[in-house]
Chain A
Amino acid sequence: MSADTTSTAPLAAARAPALLRRHWLWLAAIVLALAIPWLFFDWSKGRHSGFALTMLSEIGLMSVFALSFNMLMGQTGLLSFGHAILFGLGGYCTAHTLNAAKAGLFWLPVELIPLAGGLGGLVFGAVFGYVVTKQRATAFAMITMGLGELVAACALMFMGFFGGEGGISTDRVTGQSLFGIEYSTPWQVYCLVVAWTVIATMLMRLQTQTPLGRMANAQRDNFERTQFVGYDPRMIRFYQFTLSGFFAGIGGALYVLVYEIVTFDTVAAAKSATALLAAYIGGAGSFLGPFLGTIVVVLLQSGVSLISNAWLLYVGVLFIVMVMFAPGGIMGIVARHEPIARMGRLGELAVPYARILPPGLLLVLGFVTLVELAQLATIGSAQNKSLAIGGQPIDPHNGLPWAIGAAMLVAGGLWMRREARVFRARWDALMEEAKARGLPV
């Protein structure tokens, strides 16, 4: 026994730095996730900000959902309009399991509850997957849309499983825990969400390297050749759909743990749309893209909507700008910098970037001013937040603020055009150099 430990300890110690080098990103992400809430800690009252924790938890659970969605869209090339049904049904299964555990029907620690959601998602994924994976491309998208509408309608109609409009509410404080934690505070739940987000993300990451994950990519890229190689693309789609159901179910389970209720909204089309938007904005082509996209989408939904009722308009504009100028999403933009980074000359872009920043800000500011003015003039200051600059309230019926907004927009646009040309020149030059050095561009 003692000899055993002495022999492995140095080995493990030697291996640790290597592990650290390879997986530092994961570790950094976990440390970061656990550190951010302390930025919002209310020291005067000695408590965490429930708002920040809930929003971060939302990011965590939605990113699991978005990543599971991307198992279909990014990896298998299947666009699903009804992915939320797996998320929501996983949530319903979790809620029923949690209630049963609370009632003492069986012992199940809260830490393992997400598995119940995952299994629920897996089972429903297999059932629905059997039907929907018969087709691919647009037909697949349309079948999932129809299915999504049907399940969402059923969730309202049938009280037994779905609990009707009020949904199924639960209590996560079941008193059953592996570590003796109560999970009564948002902080404890947040830690659980972080843990499961990491586990699910790692598993999904590993899945991309399995033969199934590789074949999913193959059938996305060349559907016919996959068949020639001897695989049945239908079965690849089916397994992939079922597995993504498992992870969507985990996301749903985390939703239940955070909010302690699951309602029909979790299966509705709006949730599916959120995943699609997150995956696309972040970049469906890379594994971590949906994660970044989720951060952006949740901050827009829960952050910007607190400031402006026109947030949906900004979301719309953001999408249009993204699809027109950055089709690869955030990760796509990052990836384009790679050759330059490899040359170690990223620093040379700092000045051009700094120079397009002010016109960019001016452009955005002008646009936001105009939208907010229009909103104030027509719908009115519903949110009690009249537009004010430096404490000076702005009257939307006065021509001056409009003129200033328009001027900012036009000036920003013209200035931006000029700076963009400068930026472009620098960028092209660097790219040429990268090409000359034989780096993949």
Chain B
Amino acid sequence: MLQSLLSRLAIGALAVATCFAGPTFAQGTIKIAYTDPLSGPFAQVGDANLKQMNYILDYINSHGGALGKKFELVPFDNKSQPSDALIALKSATDQNMPFIMQCSGSNIAAALIEAVNKHNARNPDNRIIYINCGAVATELTNEQCSFWHFRFDANVAQKAEVMVRALPKEVTKVYLLNQDYLFGQSVQRDVKAFIAKLRPDIQVVGDELIPLGKVKDFAPYITKIKASGAQALLTGNWGPDMNLLIKAGIDAGVDLRYYTMYAHLAGGAVAIGPGGDGKVRSVQAFNENIAPEIGNAEAEAWTKDFRSKYPFDFYAAGFRTIFEFLAAAINKAGSTDPTKIALAMEDLKHKDFLGYESKMRKDDHQIIGPYFVGVFKRGVKYDSEKTGLGWATEATIPAKDIEQPTTCKMQRPKA
């Protein structure tokens, strides 16, 4: 008797929970499911992205959206767990959303690509497009490439090439230090390959992998790097692994240039602090000083407006490109049918708000656009996170320089 009462309670709880899970949305909007960590220790990743996306979407919607409809972002917290991202995907397809978007973690990206492929093959009447806004494993647009996956960030190989191309002539000895998992191992491999190809004069004096997120004191690594005589440290590290590494280097007063891929993300500037003046570089798609540097007052005013609303910097110009691409593709397709949108997106070209042109390559659905290397220093127009230091563009790598070949064999749907 008690137990049956309990099971009845359980049904009730489930029903209540799922009613909450399916909130009602305004009709006639184009819904984009967005899934990233929004809670827990890495909540800042999803939170910073979401705030910038909403800022961009408000702008795009006030300028007409697409086909007269507005975009609507529906966030799902995936807690950095692939299984939760897949539950979010189910939720999105239940509500016939045409897009699911995810930025953080190639493990989750790989899970989503596979799941979207299978879902679209098994449910031809209810397809969905996966918009990748930051999972960078090169494999995702090579071996694992999919017609339903569009990547709007440079992949690891492209970032590595940008990094190598940005190395000044006087640097001839570099040290590599990366996190020991797919991403870090790819950075290590690709950077070495591009050094051999583009800068044979550079000698790799050290090459290190560290367990992800386990090292609490980087001083011994700095000692080792110092002993190797390296002039530059090339790293793909992110989060504490990057912050602590750079801090330890600055503390030890070692004369090094740090080339990173993620120092410009939210929280990086504060963590590095004033000691990083002129030492830290980051491979980036955008920084707030590009607009004043190239004299684009409109873009400058637009990013400045974001700063007045939020306590951190705007770094996600790439997201604006994404939504503008989506709007253009929907207008071109004349429909919100995912298959038509996906076809319209292939080889679509678009001029972003800074005036640079980028293209969604048909062969592998990898965006090809210009990339920048910024240096963290004093005396820039817009500083980062009230540190007094900000990112100044040191090198601009045009799109044609990083248009790398792909091994993708794209399978397009018949219908």
Q: What residues on B are CB-neighbors of A411 within 8 Å?
A: none
Contact of B86 among A259, A299, A341 (CB under 8 A): A259
Hey, what's the 0/1 contact readout for B86-113 against A, CB within 8 Å counting as 1?
A: 1100110110000000000111011100
B7 contacts across to A, CB distance below 8 A:
28-29, 32
Query: Which of B6, B13, B47, B180 contacts A156, CB < 8 Å?
Result: B180
Assess whether B40 is in contact with A304, with CB atoms less than 8 Å apart. no
Q: What residues on B are CB-neighbors of A338 within 8 Å? A: 2
B182 close to A159 (CB less than 8 A): yes
Contacts of A156 in B (CB 8 A): 180-182, 211-212
Measured in the bound complex, the distance between the Cα atoms of B7 and A167 in whole Å is 36
Determine whether the beta carbon of B81 is less than 8 Å from that of A36. Answer: no
Task: Give the residue among A42, A265, A270 with the most B Cβ atoms within 10 A.
Answer: A265
**At the interface, yes or no: A263 with Cβ under 8 Å from chain B?**
yes
Within 8 A of B (CB), among A232-281: 255, 259-261, 263-265, 270
User: For chain B residues 59-91, which have a beta carbon within 8 Å of chain A?
Assistant: 73-77, 79-84, 86-87, 90-91
Is A12 on the interface with B (CB-CB < 8 A)? no
Residues of B within 8 A of A337 (CB): 2
Interface residue B115 (Cβ < 8 Å from any Cβ of A): yes
- Say yes or no: is A138 at the interface (Cβ < 8 Å to chain B): no
Q: Check A259 against B82 for contact (C-beta < 8 Å).
A: yes
B115 / chain A contacts, CB cutoff of 8 Å: 259-261
CB < 8 Å: which of B40, B114, B137, B139 contacts A261?
A: B114
| Nearest chain B CB to A384 CB, angstrom units | 6
- Where chain A touches its partner, the secondary structure class is helix
* Residues in A whose Cβ lies below 8 Å from that of B82: 167, 259, 261, 263, 265
Q: How far is the CB of B120 from chain A (nearest CB, A)?
A: 12
**Is A135 part of the binding interface, using a Cβ–Cβ cutoff of 8 Å?**
no
Pick the contact of B20: A173, A306, A309, A330 (CB < 8 A).
A306
> Are A186 and B90 also in contact (CB < 8 A) when A167-B111, A265-B107, A306-B20 are?
yes
Main secondary structure of the interface of B (DSSP, over half): helix
* B75 & A383 in contact (Cβ 8 Å cutoff): yes
B39 touches A171 (CB 8 A): no
Q: Which of the residues A36, A164, A173, A184 comes within 8 Å of B181, measured between beta carbons? A: A164
Asked if A36 and B14 make an inter-chain contact with CB atoms under 8 angstroms apart, the answer reads: yes
Taking a contact as CB atoms closer than 8 A, the residue among A28, A265, A299, A309 that contacts B38 in the complex is A309
- Interface flag for B1 (CB, 8 Å): yes
CB-based contact A166/B14 at 8 Å: no
B4 to A305, Cβ gap below 8 A? Answer: no
**Chain B binder among A46-54, A75-83, A108-116, A398-406:** A46-54
Known interface pairs A166-B110, A295-B14. Does A306 touch B211 (Cβ–Cβ under 8 Å)?
A: no
B270 at the interface (CB under 8 A from A): no
How distant is the Cα of A55 from the Cα of B89 in the complex, in angstroms? 12
Q: A50-B94, A259-B115 are in contact. Are A58 and B75 (CB under 8 A)?
A: no
Does B415 have its Cβ within 8 Å of any Cβ on chain A? no
A317 within 8 A of B: no
Find out whether the CB atom of B181 lies under 8 angstroms from the CB atom of A309.
no
Is A307 part of the contact surface with B, judged by Cβ < 8 Å? Answer: yes
B126 contacts which chain A residues (CB < 8 A)?
A: 47
Is there an interface contact between A295 and B10, defined as CB atoms closer than 8 Å? yes
B43 at the A interface (CB under 8 A): yes
Residues of B within 8 A of A25 (CB): 3-4
Complex interface: chain A residues within 8 A of B75 (CB): 382-384
Closest to B212 in A: A156
Contact B20 A165 (CB under 8 A): no
How far apart are B266's CB and chain A's nearest CB, in angstroms? 13
A171 contacts which of B1, B43, B118, B214 (Cβ < 8 Å)? B118
* A296→B126 CA distance, assembly (Å): 31
Tell me the minimal C-beta distance from B48 to chain A in angstroms: 9
Cβ-defined partner of B87 (8 Å) among A42, A47, A58, A380: A58
- B182 — which chain A residues lie within 8 A by C-beta? 156, 159, 164-166
- Interface centre among B105, B115, B181, B183, by most chain A C-beta atoms within 10 angstroms, is B181
- Among residues of B, the one whose C-beta sits closest to the C-beta of A55 is B87
A260 to B77, CA, bound (A): 20
| A166 partner residues in chain B, CB cutoff 8 A | 106-107, 109-110, 137, 139, 144, 182
Complex: A249 Cα to B180 Cα, angstroms? 27
Closest to B34 in A: A384
Contact between chains at A51 and B90 (CB < 8 Å): yes
Name the distance in Å between B63's Cβ and chain A's nearest Cβ: 20
B residues 175-190 touching A (CB-CB < 8 Å):
180-183, 185
Interchain nearest-CB distance for B18 vs A (Å): 6
User: Does B50 make an interface contact (CB < 8 A)?
Assistant: yes
Would A341 and B2 be within 8 Å (CB), given that A165-B107, A312-B39 are in contact?
Answer: yes
B4: contacting residue among A28, A153, A184, A186, CB under 8 A: A28
Let me know if B15 is at the binding interface, CB within 8 A: yes
Contact partners of A36 in chain B: CB under 8 A? 11, 14
A interface footprint on B166-180 (CB within 8 Å = 1, 0 otherwise): 000000000000001
CB <8 Å contact, A303 and B87 = no
User: Cβ of A379 and Cβ of B47 under 8 Å apart?
Assistant: yes
List A304-354 residues whose CB lies under 8 Å from chain B: 304-307, 309-312, 330, 334, 337-338, 341
- Are B110's CB and A306's CB within 8 A? no
**Chain A residues within an 8 Å CB radius of B51:** 380, 382
Residue of B nearest to A315 (CB): B39
Please give the distance in Å from A22's CB to the nearest CB on chain B: 14
Instruction: Assess A292 versus B21: contact at CB under 8 Å? Given A50-B90, A50-B93, A309-B77.
Output: no
* B46 surroundings in chain A (CB, below 8 A): 382
Contact A165 B181 (CB under 8 A): yes
Contact in complex: A309, B90 (CB < 8 Å): no
Q: Which residues of B contact A34 (CB under 8 A)?
A: none
* Residue in A259, A261, A299 whose beta carbon sits within 8 Å of that of B13 in the complex: A299
Contact with A165, one of B76, B84, B106 (Cβ below 8 angstroms): B106
A227 sits at the interface (CB 8 A): no
Report the bound CA distance from A319 to B31 in whole Å: 36
Q: Tell me, in angstroms, the Cα distance from A53 to B18 when the chains sit together.
A: 11
A39 at the interface (CB under 8 A from B): yes
A-contacting residues, B1-31, CB 8 Å: 1-4, 6-7, 10-11, 13-15, 17-18, 20-23
Q: Complex Cα distance A255/B86, Å?
A: 12
Query: Does B400 interact with chain A (Cβ within 8 Å)?
Result: no
Does B122 have its Cβ within 8 Å of any Cβ on chain A? yes
B54 on the A face (CB < 8 A): yes
Please measure, in the bound complex, the distance between the C-alpha atom of A337 and the C-alpha atom of B211, giving whole angstroms. Answer: 51
Evaluate contact between A32 and B11: CB separation under 8 angstroms.
Answer: yes
Measured between beta carbons, the chain A residues less than 8 angstroms from B180 are: 156-157
Residues of A within 8 A of B50 (CB): 382-384
Closest 10 pairs between A and B when the two form their complex, measured CB to CB = A303-B17, A166-B110, A165-B182, A50-B90, A164-B182, A156-B181, A51-B91, A169-B114, A51-B90, A263-B107
- Residues of chain A at the chain B interface (Cβ within 8 Å): 25, 28-29, 32, 36, 39-40, 42, 47, 49-56, 58, 153, 156-157, 159, 164-167, 169, 171, 173, 184-186, 255, 259-261, 263-265, 270, 288, 292, 295-296, 299, 301-307, 309-312, 330, 334, 337-338, 341, 379-380, 382-385
Would you mind naming 20 contact pairs between A and B with Cβ atoms under 8 Å apart? A32-B7, A36-B11, A49-B90, A50-B93, A51-B90, A153-B211, A164-B182, A166-B182, A169-B114, A255-B83, A259-B115, A261-B82, A295-B13, A302-B21, A302-B84, A305-B79, A307-B20, A309-B43, A383-B50, A384-B75
List B residues at the A interface (Cβ < 8 Å): 1-4, 6-7, 10-11, 13-15, 17-18, 20-23, 38-40, 43, 46-47, 50-51, 54, 73-77, 79-84, 86-87, 90-91, 93-94, 105-107, 109-111, 114-115, 118, 122, 126, 137, 139, 144, 180-183, 185, 209, 211-212, 214
